[in-house]
Chains A and B, each alone.
Chain A
């Protein structure tokens, strides 16, 4: 069974540009979560999607946005990139809103802002 897949593996952008990161959850998982992990820091929750809707949002500015498609894959969009957006962006999936389910992570997209 394929795990969570993310693309691209690496992404290099300059300040002010826009970045799009993609995630495909494990088959059967309806919830997708996005996290930011800056170098040396812990996981910071960004967004949670389930059944195509945004269910919760972390403490990030509106230029961080995303969506979930009917096949449950998801995109994270970051507009007006800033240097401090350089981080590993991790996507995780789980079995939806039902409580008690662990999240399974993809390999991440390493975003570098020059």
Chain B
């Protein structure tokens, strides 16, 4: 079993749609969680950290459920520019090593 698992997709959605991705992690002692975005043949870029109480950044909302060991990302009012692969990331016990999920591909169509 992978340490961080994501549905690879692709998720094909129309512009303006709301889309949600889930991710599960196996290390119950993971301390920190992040969502990264990776465009084709580019480097991953930090999208947002994920806090226990949930957090929002514009159209993006991240949630953490420690009991069920899953993380979610909600994107509202999808834009064409949101098309990318979204990587779910969990840290180790100490929080200084990150494990990346395989990514979920999102394609927003006009």
Contact surface of A with B, Cβ cutoff 8 Å: 31, 33, 35, 41-43, 45, 48, 55-56, 88, 90, 94, 96-108
Q: Name the A residues within 8 Å of B98 (CB-CB).
A: 33, 102-103
Interface residues in B, total, Cβ within 8 A: 22
Interface of B is mostly: loop
Q: Name the B residues within 8 Å of A45 (CB-CB).
A: 97, 99
The answer for the CA separation of A42 and B34 in the assembled complex, in Å, is 16
Q: Name the B residues within 8 Å of A104 (CB-CB).
A: 46
Are B91 and A42 interface neighbours, CB within 8 A? no
Q: Name the B residues within 8 Å of A55 (CB-CB).
A: 96
Are A90 and B43 interface neighbours, CB within 8 A? yes
The answer for the CA separation of A43 and B87 in the assembled complex, in Å, is 10
CB-defined A-B contacts under 8 Å, sample of 9: A43-B44, A43-B87, A55-B96, A88-B41, A100-B31, A100-B91, A101-B96, A103-B46, A106-B43
Are B31 and A105 interface neighbours, CB within 8 A? no
Give the nearest-CB partner of A97 in chain B: B96
Q: How far is the CB of A98 from chain B (nearest CB, A)?
A: 7
Q: How far is the CB of B92 from chain A (nearest CB, A)?
A: 9
Are B95 and A99 interface neighbours, CB within 8 A? yes
| Of listed B95, B96, B102, residue having the most chain A CB within 10 A | B96
Q: Name the A residues within 8 Å of B101 (CB-CB).
A: 42
Known: A99-B32, A99-B91, A100-B31. A105 touches B45 (CB 8 A): yes
Check: B61 CB closer than 8 A to any chain A CB: no
Known: A45-B99, A103-B98. 15 other contacts (CB 8 A): A33-B98, A42-B100, A43-B87, A90-B44, A94-B96, A99-B31, A99-B32, A100-B31, A100-B91, A101-B32, A101-B95, A102-B98, A104-B46, A105-B43, A106-B43
